[in-house]
Amino acid sequence: MVRGPGLLLRLFATLVIVLVLALACATWFFFRRPLLLDEGMSRLALGQVGLSRREVTSPLGPQTVFVGGSGSPLVLVHGEGDQAGAWARIMTPLVETRRVVVPDLAGHGGSAPDEGPLSVDVLVEGLQAVVAETCGTEPVVLVGHSLGALVAFTFAEENPQRVARLVAVNGGPISSSATEVPLRPRDRDDARAMMEALMGSPADAIPGHVLGDIVRRAQNGPGSRLQQTAVAMGRFAMDDRLNELEVPVSLIWGEADELFDVSYARTLCSLLPECDLELLEGCGHWPQRECPVQTAEALEAVLP
């Protein structure tokens, strides 16, 4: 009888300690690694709508992919420095009607390689392994955002029989003029200017600790590894051969984006033998995050 209350007190004290440690950990991530915290939450969201995490064997090492739903395959390819959770906000309507495949590109998220330079052909190699393992022989609808659009175009050019339709979201494979957008921000002012250009709106509302984490990620994340092969990026430009692409293409474009602006989208569409363009008013470079309802509706409209 005497030991009962003492045991309860010890259990209560242990619970309090665990809660305090959890709160301290969450607070540290919120202020020091907010981008990592956001990534974790977005990946949890993929699981909540029915996608399961898998690993695919490849010559590069294990490739992480989230798979769910049933029907014809839809493959969503994120952009530079991002990860599969980038698509979480538009996932619910897609997974209800299709088999959705959402990889972490090679060197991003949970996918190998963990170190060393990254290049577009490495990203394509990882994507090829994922598609071969998860989609069988059925042609896929391939959706690529930003750098993921370049990866998708390269994949489609090399494997036209594997792609039923390509959808590019604020990205593509044509050369563009020099931009003033500081894509490798050195400080918080650079990060704020970058976010204003990409989102098409003032970035004053973005907290300083988030801007600081953007700077840290730019210096140490996958983007810095891709930068090591930037001089070779030009060989993936398709300006002079897009008219030979055998895959129908749809463009979904946040019109407020200053990195790949509307003129880029219109030029890209004009070079393709089969193309349609949907502009999303008020959306910037990440429409799947900024305008998920509009983006999901636009994507549903072009899916075969």
Interval 23-67: pLDDT, tens: 444 443 444 567 888 999 999 999 999 999 999 999 999 999 999
Q: For the chain, what percent of residues have pLDDT higher than 90? A: 77
Percent of the chain past pLDDT 70, that is, above it, reads 87
Q: Which residue has the higher pLDDT, 244 or 183?
A: 244
> Is it the case that residue 282 has pLDDT exceeding 60?
yes
| Whole-number pLDDT of residue 16 | 55
- In this prediction, residue 26 carries a pLDDT of 41
Q: Domain spans of the chain?
A: 33-302
Instruction: Tell me: pLDDT of 17 over 80.
Output: no
pLDDT of residue 182: 75
What does the mean pLDDT of the chain come to? 89
Instruction: Say if CB 100 and CB 167 are below 8 A apart.
Output: no
The answer on pLDDT for 187 being more than 90 is yes
Q: What does CATH list as the number for 33-302?
A: 3.40.50.1820
The model's pLDDT over 88-121, given as tens digits with 9 standing for 90+, comes to 999 999 999 999 999 999 999 999 999 999 999 9
Is the omega angle on the peptide bond into residue 93 within 30 degrees of 0, that is, cis?
no
Give the pTM: 0.89
